[in-house]
Amino acid sequence: MTKLDVVPVLAEAERQFPETIERLKAFLRFPSIGTAPAYHAATKDCAAWLAEELAGLGFDASVRPTGGMPMVVAHHPGPAGQDVPHLLYYGHYDVQPVDPIELWDSPPFEPTVVEDAKGGRIVARGAVDDKGQVMTFVEAFRAWLKVHGTLPCRVTVFIEGEEEGSSPSLEPFMHAHKDELRADVCIVSDTGMVDADTPAITTSLRGLAYVEVTVQGPSMDLHSGMYGGVAVNPNNLLVRILAEMVDADGRVAIPGFYDGILEPSAAVTESWKAFPVTEAQFLDGVGLTGPHGEKGRSFLERNWTRPTLDINGIWGGYTGQGSKTVIPSKASAKISARLVPGQQWEKIAPAILKFVQDRLPADCRMTYQDFGSSPGITVPAEGPWIEAARAGIAQVFGKEPVLMGCGGSIPVVGSFKEILGMDTLLVGFGLDDDRVHSPNEKFDLICLRRGVQTHVAMLARLADVSA
C-alpha cells in the first residue's frame, strides 16, 4: 500500500500546467506521419525526443529499431524495496496525414492555442490522437517525481510509431520482448469521454478490416462518344457493386458478415438508457440530424456494438477542372468494415473481395490491397484494476465515470491480452468534437489538465491494488 501522499502531486501538476502546454507544443511540432516515407526522418526524431524526455525524468529510456518506425521503451523501478504493481502505459507518437491542408486554420505542425468559452484548445495534428493523451501520463509522472522523487508503482512506457498504419512492427516486437513488456495491467489513453465534465472508461472496441480494390476494364482510357454504350465503364461498374453492399435498411449484404456476433447483455443495454447524450446531440456537432444506419437498432448499439461497412475513398477517370469525356480504364475504392466481438473477423476482408469479384464481367479483372484486420474487443468492466481507476477518476472529476463502448479500433488491446496475457484499462480524455483525423484537430485544455490530474490520482489508487 502506497504511503506517498497524492495531494501535493495534484498541486504540482496544476502548478506546472503552463509548462505542460509548452512541452506538448514541442511534441506536436514533429511532423511524425509514420506512413509517409517523406516524413520518416521526422518521425524518428520525434521518437528520440520522447525518449529524451522520459530519460530526463529518471526513466531508463531508449529508442528501439524495428523494420519500420522505432519503438520508445522506458522503465522506472518505482519505490525502492516495496512490492508494488507493475503498470504498462501504451500510446503512439505517429499521426495521420494532414490533407486537405487548405482546410486548416493554422499550420498543422505549428501548434496554436485558441481561446474559447471552454478555457481554450490546442490545435495541431496529433493534438488528441495521440500525442496530447500520451502527455497526460508523462506529465503525471513528472509531477510525482518532482514531489516524491519516485513513482508509487513500477512503470514501463511503450510508445509506437506505426499505429496509424496498422502497426506492422508491433506484434513482432511484442513477441521478441515479452518478458520486458509484461506487466500486471496496461493503461491506454487513446479514447474519449462523454463530455469535458463526464469521464468514461471504455469497455468495448470495434475491430477493423480494410481493403482497397481496383477494377480494370479496357486496356486504356476511351472516348465516351466513340465507346460509350459499348465498352464497360469501370466507374459505373464499381459504383454499382459498392451500392449493393449495404441495403436500404442499413444492413450489410455481404454473405456471412453477421455470423457469430455477440449481442450485448440486457444489463449493459439497460445501463445505456441513462447515457447523457442523445443521437440528435451527437449528430448536431457534425451538421447532421439523422438517424442513419441499421434500422431497428439504437443509437448506441449502432455506434458501439454493431458492425458497419463504409466506402472511405473512391476514384477513377478524370477529376480535374473542366470537362473530359472519358471512359476510364480502371476505378478504385477503399473499403473498411468496423467489426464487433464474436464476428468472424478474419473472414470479412476475403468476403468483401469475393463480393466484388463475383460481380465482374468476364473481360474485367480486380486487383487489391489488404491493409489488415483486427477483431472487436471487450475488456473487463469490473475487478480491482477498474475499481482503482474509477476511484482515481472520481477524485478528479467529483463523479463516477461512465462505462461506454467505442466505435473505433485499438488493435493493440487484443495483442496485449493474447501475447502478454494482461488486461487493459482504457481511460481517455478526448471529445467527439476533437476533429480526430480531420483538419483543425484539437485537444481542449480542460481535458489535457484533467487528464494529467487523473493519471496522477490513478497512480496512487493503482499502487494499492495487490499485484
Alpha-carbon distance of 182 to 172, in angstroms, equals 15
CA distance 137 to 428: 11
Backbone angles phi, psi at 368, to 5 degrees: -155, 165
Grid cell listed for 401: 465515470
Do residues 70 and 47 lie in contact, with contact meaning Cβ atoms separated by under 8 Å?
A: yes
**Bridge partners (DSSP) listed for residue 330:** 216
Angle between helices 234-243 and 348-357 (to 10 degrees): 130
Closest C-alpha among 346, 353, 348 to residue 369: 353
Which amino acid makes up residue 227?
Y
CA dist 273 → 192, 243, 457, 462 (Å): 19, 33, 29, 30
User: What pLDDT score was predicted for residue 467?
Assistant: 57
Between the alpha carbon of residue 212 and those of residues 186, 208, 310, 370, the distances in Å are 33, 14, 12, 7
Which residue carries 529499431 as its cell? 65
Q: Rounded to an integer, what distance in angstroms lies between the CA atom of residue 36 and that of residue 26?
A: 21
**Conformational region of residue 340, where left means phi above 0, alpha means psi within -120 to 50, and beta covers everything else:** beta
Would you state the pLDDT for residue 381? 83
Facing residues of 426 across strands?
188, 202
Q: How far apart are CA 327 and CA 220, in angstroms?
A: 9
Cβ pair 409, 373 in contact under 8 A: no
- DSSP H or E segment with residue 422: none
207-261+307-374 carries CATH number 3.30.1540.10: no
> What SS3 class is residue 421?
coil
Instruction: Spell 344-357 as b/e; 16+ CB within 10 A means b.
Output: ebebbbebbbebbe
- For residue 164, the 8-state DSSP code is G
Closest CA to 174 of 434, 444, 461, 417: 417
Q: What is the pLDDT along the chain (467 residues), one digit of tens a residue?
A: 557 999 999 999 999 999 999 999 999 999 999 999 999 999 999 999 999 999 999 999 999 999 999 999 999 999 998 999 999 999 999 999 999 999 999 999 999 999 999 999 999 999 999 999 999 999 999 999 999 999 999 999 999 999 998 899 999 999 999 999 999 999 999 999 999 999 999 988 999 999 999 999 999 999 999 999 999 999 999 999 999 999 999 999 999 999 999 888 777 777 778 788 889 988 988 899 988 999 999 999 999 999 999 999 999 999 999 999 999 999 999 999 999 999 999 999 999 999 999 999 999 999 999 998 889 988 888 899 999 999 999 999 999 998 888 888 888 998 999 999 999 999 999 999 999 999 999 999 999 999 999 999 999 999 999 85
Provide DSSP, 50-93: HHHHHHHTT-EEEEE--SSSPEEEEEE--STT----EEEEEEE-
Q: What is the pLDDT of residue 297?
A: 92
> What's the pLDDT score for residue 387?
95
User: Which residues are bridge partners to 215 per DSSP?
Assistant: 331, 366
User: Distance from first CA to last CA of the chain, Å, rounded?
Assistant: 11
- Please enumerate in sequence order all residues whose Cβ is within 8 A of that of 168, keeping only pairs 6 or more positions apart, or say none: 67, 68, 162, 372
What per-residue confidence (pLDDT) applies to 31? Answer: 98
How many CA atoms lie less than 13 Å away from 316 in the CB half-sphere? 25
Question: Which pLDDT value is given to residue 2?
Answer: 59
The predicted structure's pLDDT at residue 380: 83
Three-state DSSP state, 155: strand
Nearest to 206 by CA among 120, 108, 300: 300
Nearest to 170 by CA among 91, 95, 96: 91
pLDDT score, position 62: 98
Sequence ranges of the domains in the chain: 7-205+377-462, 207-261+307-374
Query: Which fold, 7-205+377-462?
Result: Aminopeptidase (3.40.630)
Longest dimension (CA), the chain: 84
Tell me whether strands 365-374 and 326-327 are parallel, antiparallel or unpaired. unpaired
Is residue 243 within 8 Å of 310, Cβ to Cβ? no
Q: Is the peptide bond before 129 cis (omega within 30 degrees of 0)?
A: no
pLDDT of residue 264: 80
* CA nearest to 139, candidates 394, 390, 445: 445
All three cell numbers of 388, joined, read 482503482
